[in-house]
Chain A
Amino acid sequence: MTEPMIEMRGVNKWFGDFHVLRDIDLTVAEGEKVVICGPSGSGKSTVVRLISRLEVHETGTIRVSGGDPSQASGRDVGMVFQQFNLFPHLTVLQNLTLGPRKALKLSRAEAEDRARRFLARVKIPEQEGKRPGQLSGGQQQRVAIARALCMEPKVMLFDEPTSALDPEMIAEVLDVMVELAEGGMTMVVVTHEMGFARKVADRMVFMDQGEIVETGPPAAFFERPKSERCRTFLGQILSH
């Protein structure tokens, strides 16, 4: 068996007195797509924020692509945020080239080549001169995905990528994510888009109150949830 891409062992995290994550064990293999769902406050965002090293955990270990768990490189991991977090003062192209030029030390021409390649992949090659504020929410989120991809990460993390979008924009973002999944990218996605989860996920993870309550392949997960908490949650989000 090959080395797992992400390995979390006995991870605990507190915000002050609040115990956000309890003994999280989660392993993600190379190329695997994991969808995490659960009620708000369940700690699901914190899991991806720990993997991307935006937060620090108190106990346990987190390894990404076999790296030293203490080392905070962060470059193997791409992150897509709910609020896009594009840089509003830069053009789309500059948003994409900033990381490659400054962190990876690529030349401007190399970085721009790469940026245009990924802009084409998220299907907005014609917007490179615009600023984020001139784009729709769906376009902004696709730019954010391209920005993360420009760092050529081994893992892509998505923290509720469609939750801030108007309904008509959700599909265009999910389409890009489906294509990315089909291309073999390792992905961890926090989302309530259960249609997307059914189509893409290799494994579902249900979290509640800082714990992983249930995991399993989507078919079994949606048809026969084992725990009462998971049944209730799925009943709530799938009922309408």
Chain B
Amino acid sequence: MRAILLLLLLGGCASGTNWGWYVIDPTTPAGWTNIKFLVGGMGATIQLSLIAAALSITLGLIVALPALSERRALRIVNRVYVEVIRAIPLLPMLFWVFYGLPIIFRQMGLTVPIDPFWGAIITLAVSDSAFTAEIYRAGIQSIARGQTEAAKTIGLSYAQTMRYVVLPQAVRRILPPLANQFIYIVKMSAFASVIGMQELTRRANELVVTEYRPLEIYTLLILEYLVLVLIISAAVRWLERRMGADER
């Protein structure tokens, strides 16, 4: 059954009248130019994702720490941040940051231009930080209380306990879900296309408008993301293996 479906699909791809692979045929000059244009968005997608992820894992830790405090007020700060940020869909937040935030800055007498690149990064990082904060919190709380107690009895401060005892142990539990979040960021970076960021999705949209070949172009677009995500997955598995080996 599955073989038949696959054959139908392949047959359709190869000869059906619905397909027009010429638009991205590397053997023709026009097709090659189109491919270069589409894949040319890769650098921006990678940059967006990497910077947003770096900011998110930093911001996430800062947001997570109050959750572990004994003071109720600090825990509430964390809860409010996580619940509010997690509840805002990415696209409205992106519009708010890109179109709304500059107005607030202007009213404060500041001229802070927010270009599509930084608008997208801020949105991705903040939106994702609520999730990374929860990952940190769970990871840190999974470290037995005896560890922090032992650290206290040998005179370590709170910061030293985190730095030398808790985080090194928590990181092994935090890394796999954090990697999942990175994959999520890579995929969500596609939203940057709507504010004009020249990344993979934007380029595909622009080419579709001139070539009228959405099926082929968006198929290639999906393959581009697929390759990117599979590479990240492989890198994460390698990293996990290395850290696991280190623990034993």
Contacts and interface: CB of A to CB of B under 8 A. Distances in A.
Contact of A85 (B147, B164, B247, B248): B147
A89 interface: yes
A87 B149 contact: no
B169 A102 contact: no
Contacts of A75: 155
A81 B149 contact: yes
Interface string A38-76: 000000000000001110000000000000000000110
Given A87-B147, A89-B168, A103 B153 contact: no
A226 B152 CA distance: 38
B153 A148 contact: yes
A235 interface: no
B156 interface: yes
A54 B156 CA distance: 13
Nearest to B154: A99
B164 to A, nearest CB: 6
A175 B147 CA distance: 26
A199 B192 CA distance: 75
Nearest to A134: B248
A88 B169 contact: yes
Contact of B150 (A81, A103, A133): A81
B33 interface: no
Secondary structure type dominating chain A contacts: loop
Contacts of B247: 88-89
A104 interface: yes
A148 B247 CA distance: 24
Contacts of A83: 144, 146
Secondary structure type dominating chain B contacts: helix
B180 interface: no
Contacts, number: 61
Interface string A11-54: 00000000000000000000000000000000000000000111
Interface size class of A (residues with CB under 8 A): 20 to 34
Contact of B153 (A79, A88, A89, A104): A79
B150 A102 contact: no
B155 A104 contact: yes
Given A87-B165, A88-B169, A89-B168, A98 B146 contact: no
A151 B150 contact: no
The winner among B151, B155, B160, B165 for most chain A CB atoms within 10 A is: B155
A74 B164 contact: no
A77 B155 CA distance: 10
B29 to A, nearest CB: 57
16 contacts: A54-B153, A75-B155, A79-B150, A79-B153, A81-B149, A85-B147, A87-B147, A87-B150, A87-B151, A98-B165, A102-B155, A103-B154, A103-B155, A103-B156, A147-B154, A150-B154
Interface of B: 144, 146-147, 149-157, 160, 164-165, 168-169, 247-248
Q: For the complex of A and B, list the 10 residue pairs with the smallest distance between their C-beta atoms, beginning with the closest.
A: A99-B154, A103-B155, A85-B150, A85-B146, A79-B153, A75-B155, A102-B160, A89-B168, A89-B169, A54-B149
